[in-house]
């Protein structure tokens, strides 16, 4: 195989490999490393979610058949938090329906196993090349009279900053990025806190109450605020 020029450390793309099969995982890890990528290998969905929450990645290579959860759920969760991440699904499932479900869950591309490393590397190069040109800065989101700038971590009301606690900001950000859609309590707990959180979800209620109070106080009575509807027994929805 032709060896591409060695990239500098700075330009190494970080790849999170999620694969429970030892042979495939090792093959991917060494193949990626040998071709200028910086791979990290997770064997379960839970480990992958916690790794994706902890560090910044450029690419997620995701097996669908994982021992602890469906890879599609991993794709959905990671996508909700990382809109710019390149997600490539690696699947032994060849049915169209699985491929469609994968793309609907937020994947950018897929490869059906068995695939060759050369093809995988070519796909990654093509996607990443395009991304350098196309990736727009994450635009601030307008929510009624509020502007939420996730990149800058700023929430402003008529250009005045609203001081939100970190978790309040994250909670608002997850709801805003899913505006119009119901977001379950479980998803919020996983996204905002930690997917390994087994404690009381009262934390979520307290943070939500704090978020609503801060927004109301900061914006005053007459302002148009984004409405966060409580969905009993499910979660919340930020209204469009």
20 is an interface residue for Ca ion by CB under 5 A: yes
Q: CB-wise, 63 or 195, nearer to Ca ion?
A: 63
Select the span of 47-55, 65-73, 80-88, 115-123 touching Ca ion (CB under 5 A): 65-73
* Cα dist from 73 to 86, 120, 199, 223, whole Å: 16, 22, 21, 37
Contacting Ca ion (CB under 5 A), which of 38, 50, 65, 99?
65
Binding of Ca ion by 191 (CB under 5 A)? no
Angle, in degrees to the nearest 10, between helices 202-219 and 166-177: 90
Per the listing, tokens 């959905």 go with 76
Helix, strand, coil shares of the chain, percent, nearest 5, are 40, 20, 35
Give the residue ranges of DSSP H helices in the chain: 22-33, 45-54, 71-81, 96-104, 117-134, 166-177, 185-188, 202-219
**Min CB(46)–Ca ion separation in Å:** 14
Nearer to Ca ion, 25 or 235 (CB): 25
Stretch that binds Ca ion, among 7-15, 62-70, 83-91, 215-223 (CB under 5 A): 62-70
By Cβ distance, which residue is nearest to Ca ion?
Answer: 65
d(CA 9, CA 115): 27
Applying CB under 5 A, which part among 35-43, 61-69, 127-135, 207-215 lies near Ca ion? Answer: 61-69
Question: Two tokens at 223?
Answer: 């302002």
Whole-number Å distance between alpha carbons of 29 and 139: 34
Residue from 51, 58, 63, 195 in contact with Ca ion (CB under 5 A): 63
Q: Are 87 and 17 in contact (CB under 8 A)?
A: no
Q: Would you say 92 or 152 has its CB closer to Ca ion?
A: 92
98 is a contact residue toward Ca ion (CB under 5 A): no
Q: Interface mask (CB under 5 A) for Ca ion, residues 21-60, using x and -?
A: ----------------------------------------
In this chain, which stretch among 13-21, 122-130, 148-156, 219-227 interacts with Ca ion, using CB under 5 A?
13-21
3-state secondary structure of 39: strand
Interface residues toward Ca ion, by CB under 5 A: 20, 63, 65
């Amino acid at each position: 195989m032709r060896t591409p020029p060695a990239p500098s450390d700075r330009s190494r793309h970080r790849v999170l490999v999620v694969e429970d099969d030892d042979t495939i995982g090792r093959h991917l890890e060494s193949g990626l490393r040998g071709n200028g990528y910086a791979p990290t290998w997770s064997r379960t969905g839970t480990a992958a979610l916690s790794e994706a929450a902890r560090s910044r990645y450029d690419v997620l290579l995701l097996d669908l058949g994982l021992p602890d959860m469906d890879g599609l759920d991993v794709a959905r969760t990671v996508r909700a938090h990382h809109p710019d991440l390149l997600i490539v699904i690696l699947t032994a499932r060849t049915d169209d329906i699985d491929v469609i479900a994968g793309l609907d869950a937020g994947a950018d591309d897929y490869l059906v196993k068995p695939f060759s490393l050369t093809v995988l590397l070519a796909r990654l190069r093509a996607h990443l090349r395009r991304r350098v040109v196309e990736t727009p800065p994450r635009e601030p989101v307008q929510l009624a009279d509020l502007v939420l700038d996730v990149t800058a971590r700023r929430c402003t009301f008529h250009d005045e900053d609203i001081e939100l606690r970190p978790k309040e900001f994250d909670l608002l950000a997850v709801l805003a990025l899913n505006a119009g859609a119901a977001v379950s309590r479980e998803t919020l707990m996983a996204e905002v806190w930690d997917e390994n959180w087994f404690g009381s979800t009262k934390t979520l209620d307290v943070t939500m109450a704090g978020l609503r109070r801060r927004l109301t106080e900061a914006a005053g009575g007459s302002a148009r605020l984004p409405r966060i509807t409580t969905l009993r027994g499910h979660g919340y929805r930020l209204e469009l």
